[in-house]
Amino acid sequence: MYCRTKGSAWRTRDMHSILLTNPIALLAVILGSTIIFILFLQPRHLSSSPKSDSMAARSFVLWLHGLGDSGPANEPIKTLFRSSEFRNTKWSFPSAPENPVTCNYGMRMPSWFDIQEIPVTADSPKAESDVLKAVQNVHAMIDREVAAGTDPNNVFVCGFSQGGALTLASVLLYPKKLGGGAVFSGWVPFNSSMIEKFPEDAKKVIS
């Protein structure tokens, strides 16, 4: 994916594209995520008592892809998690809807929310209303899983690049404490004023 910012020529590819074309870099990200998931999930499975309802003991991993990517393209990631700790894990790899993206001159592509410019900096404009709509969609996915019987403490949201930014917002705005979140090459997609909207239970995820 190529993007162009104000008055500049075409820039180099997004880190997402670099990882797709650099197997070593991609492997490093995947191995790092393996460690994070093991740290998150292992203690809960070992300490939990047997439950008659297998749904309550099941873990749920929601993986959010980067700009221009798709859910199915990321599904091979789950094959790397072969530990017995993941034997009762349900994975979900949704695809973002096609939306116009400002940094790509309005080109339509899979995108969770609009991005004004790339590279993203602390001073970059933030499409908070767009982000909040995407957060609502992610929360709906989590709510369906919780309604089916999965304990919120066993729900983990992870994402890469734009998906990582959405992961951060989704976990910190969810009304209940989730198991955790993992952000890879993401950023903070909202202004500091959003902190006031974080539910108290959500704050416990990072405590």
Burial environment of residue 105 by CB neighbours within 10 A (0 to 12, 13 to 18, 19 or more): exposed
Per-residue pLDDT at 54? 61
pLDDT at 55: 65
Backbone φ, ψ for residue 109 (5° rounding): -165, 165
- Identify which of 147, 97, 136, 126 has the alpha carbon closest to the alpha carbon of residue 189: 126
The amino acid that residue 171 corresponds to is V
Q: Give the confidence band of 43 by pLDDT, cuts at 50, 70, 90.
A: very low
Contact (CB, 8 A) for 124 and 116: yes
- The predicted pLDDT at position 61 comes to 97
First to last CA, the chain: 36
Model pLDDT, residue 93? 98
CATH class of 60-203: alpha beta
Instruction: Render pLDDT for 157-198 as a digit per residue (tens, 0 to 9).
Output: 999 999 999 999 999 999 999 999 999 999 999 999 999 999
Nearest-angstrom CA–CA distance, 62 and 170? 11
> Is residue 125 scored above 60 in pLDDT?
yes
Percent of the chain with pLDDT over 70: 72
Percent of the chain scoring above 90 in pLDDT: 64
In this prediction the pTM is 0.75
Q: Rounded to 10 degrees, what is the CA torsion of 49, 53, 59, 62?
A: -160
φ, ψ of residue 88 in degrees (nearest 5): -115, 35
| Domain boundaries defined on the chain | 60-203
Asked if residue 19 has pLDDT above 50, the reply is no
Give the pLDDT confidence score for residue 169 in this predicted structure. Answer: 97
* Beta-sheet pairing, 98-101 with 89-92: unpaired
Q: How many angstroms separate the Cα of 157 from the Cα of each of 106, 163, 172, 203? A: 28, 10, 11, 15
**Which candidate, 41, 38, 54, places its Cα nearest to that of 153?**
41
Cα 31–35–38 angle (5° rounding)?
135
What is the rounded average pLDDT of the residues 143-160?
96
Q: What is the pLDDT of residues 67-123, one digit of tens each?
A: 999 999 999 999 998 898 898 999 999 999 999 999 999 999 999 999 999 999 989
Of residues 179 and 17, the one with the higher pLDDT is 179
